[in-house]
A and B are shown apart, each in its own frame.
Chain A
Amino acid sequence: MKLEDIKPDVAHDVTGTFCPVPVAETAKQIKEMKIGQILELIADDPGVVEDIPAWCRSTGQEFLGMYEEDGEYHLFVRKVRELK
């Protein structure tokens, strides 16, 4: 799937927060979403580039990709399973 084709169901802006808050916020959003839905996380902590994919690996969610624009990171995560 190309990034530009992704239509997120939920967009969540966490700019101004830093590790581990963006990850905790991602988890909160994913928890409330339905399986198959896509979250767009908007963050300016450059560390999210590593944190979010690592979190997806440990919790079994699908990391679809990301892009950066003017220091803002847009990351896309598809909910694949319920969070334990």
Chain B
Amino acid sequence: MGKVRAVALLSGGLDSTLAVRLLLDQGIEIKALHFYTGFCITEHKRRLGLKREDGQHYVNPALKAAAQLGVPLEIVDISEEYYDIVLNPKFGYGKNVNPCVDCRIFMLKKAKEIMEREGYHFVVTGEVLYQRPMSQTPQRLKLIEREAGLEGYVLRPLSAKVLPPTIPEIKGWVDRSKLLGIKGRSRKVQIELAKRYGLEYEQPAGGCCYLTDETYAARFREAFAVEGKVTREDLVLFAVGRHIRLPSGVKLIVARNEGEVRFLRGFRSRYNYAYRKDGKGTFALIKGDPPEEELQIIADIIARYSKREQCEVCMKVGEREITLIGTPADDSFIERFKIYHKQGVKG
């Protein structure tokens, strides 16, 4: 057989970066695949105009890692199909609305397609046995592989020695003795290795997905309970602003900063909305048609989040354009209607 070639799933975190590095050491040709799900934290932060604490842009960890490893990277856009996975996962959710098992299966299926189409021999991942309780038990790893139609063809270099030999190892394409036997949540060995290789990596490692966020999950579940369904647009909006459910069932999504104001304004054609008239304050989408008695409450909430001062508030509700004087609502009043993960207080 000629050169051994593999496709590798690369999030750009420490584990997937090291997995690729270990195989490059064995002279294996690697093409990295990075999946764009539409739920990426980097994309989301940039969309809102946010920067890191050091004033730098949020970087895409996979691009950085691929450039550092010197391997070609393909960004595989699965965002369209991914909504169905999030809304209807066959194997259920993790702690939040993270459909980790279905997600892995889907990514591996895509990797298999690329592997077969472009003549690669197997698939590499940075998975570590028992690192994640939901998707990284031996049974789950096996199930994920089987469902993807890749049984025996998924090599996990970081945990290979504590997993049954894969076809690339049995056939001698890869030297099993040079692979690792890491298991569990500790990252000590990986951090040590990264130092030895001089690899820089992004923290937190292990993905860039905000479906694991607790407040996001709280909003998802609340919307299902109150509205009976979740739309694709909801999936985007759960990650933005303060979410406030008024007694009538109408929901307000109130921007927290200029980036969010800009972002939410982009939805004006499809929602009712309210904002501080002179532009010196926030903007909120109103999901649903508020009854008369809630219009003043909305104005008061807008005033609260517009420098906490009395101000004129404009609203568009159906065909009506309304202007009211808003008087800042009390935090304790708003708190009763806010939708967020109350232990984690991130919302």
Q: In the bound complex, do residue B47 and residue A18 qualify as a contact, i.e. CB atoms below 8 Å apart?
A: yes
Given contacts A19-B40, A57-B67, A58-B66, contact A50 B59 (CB under 8 A): yes
Interface centre among A19, A55, A83, by most B CB within 10 Å? A19
Q: Which of B70-78, B174-182, B190-198, B332-340 contacts A (4 or more CB under 8 A)?
A: B70-78
Q: How big is chain B's contact interface, by range? A: 20 to 34
- Tally of A-B Cβ pairs under 8 angstroms: 75
Report if A60 contacts B (CB, 8 A): yes
Q: How big is chain A's contact interface, by range? A: 20 to 34
Q: Quick one: closest A residue to B51, CB to CB?
A: A46
Partner of B77, one of A24, A46, A47, A57: A24
Given contacts A18-B43, A19-B40, A19-B42, contact A51 B72 (CB under 8 A): no
Please encode chain A, from 40 to 84, with 1 for each CB lying within 8 Å of some chain B CB and 0 for all others.
000001110111001101111000000000000000000000011
Report if B34 contacts A (CB, 8 A): yes
Q: Quick one: closest B residue to A24, CB to CB?
A: B75
Report if B108 contacts A (CB, 8 A): no
Report if A8 contacts B (CB, 8 A): no
Task: For the complex, give the distance between the alpha carbons of A47 and B58 in Å.
Answer: 7
Task: For the complex, give the distance between the alpha carbons of A46 and B36 in Å.
Answer: 19
Given contacts A46-B57, A47-B46, A51-B59, contact A20 B75 (CB under 8 A): yes
Q: In the bound complex, do residue B66 and residue A27 qualify as a contact, i.e. CB atoms below 8 Å apart?
A: no
Task: For the complex, give the distance between the alpha carbons of A49 and B58 in Å.
Answer: 11
Given contacts A47-B57, A84-B72, contact A58 B43 (CB under 8 A): no
The residues of A that contact B257 with a CB separation of less than 8 Å are none
Report if B308 contacts A (CB, 8 A): no
Q: Quick one: closest A residue to B118, CB to CB?
A: A84
| B residues whose Cβ falls under 8 Å from a Cβ of A | 31-32, 34, 36, 40, 42-44, 46-47, 57-60, 62-64, 66-67, 69-75, 77, 118
27 contacts between A and B (CB under 8 A): A18-B43, A19-B40, A20-B34, A20-B36, A20-B75, A21-B43, A21-B77, A23-B60, A23-B75, A24-B36, A24-B77, A27-B74, A45-B46, A46-B57, A47-B42, A47-B59, A47-B60, A50-B59, A51-B60, A51-B63, A54-B59, A54-B64, A55-B73, A57-B67, A58-B32, A58-B73, A59-B72
